[in-house]
Amino acid sequence: MSDSHGSVHQAEKIIKANSGADMFIHLGDGEADVSALKIKYPDLDIRNVRGNCDFSKDLPDFIIVEAMGRRIFCAHGHRYQVRDGTDALIYAALQNGCEAALFGHTHERYFAREEGIDVMNPGSCAFPRDGMKPSYGFIDVTGYGIFMNIIDVGY
Closest to 138 (Cα-Cα) out of 25, 47, 51: 25
CA distance 109 to 128: 8
Q: Superfamily assignment of 8-152 in CATH?
A: Metallo-dependent phosphatases (3.60.21.10)
137, 148 in Cβ contact below 8 A?
yes
Is the pLDDT at 79 greater than 90, yes or no?
yes
φ/ψ (deg, to 5) at 107: 65, 20
Confidence (pLDDT) at 33: 98
E-only strand ranges, 1-142 = 24-26, 46-48, 62-67, 70-75, 100-102, 109-114, 117-122, 135-142
pLDDT at 72: 98
Q: How far apart are CA 65 and CA 85, in angstroms?
A: 23
Dist CA 22 CA 140 (whole Å)? 10
| Amino acid (1-letter code) at residue 97 | G
pLDDT confidence of residue 154: 74
Over range 129-141, report the average pLDDT. 97
- Mean of the per-residue pLDDT values of the chain: 97
* CA–CA dist 22, 103 (Å, integer): 19
| Per-residue pLDDT, 155 | 73
Question: Where does the pLDDT of residue 75 fall: very low under 50, low under 70, confident under 90, or very high at 90 and above?
Answer: very high
Mean pLDDT of 127-153: 96
Q: What percent of the chain has pLDDT over 70?
A: 100
pLDDT confidence bin for 61, thresholds 50/70/90: very high
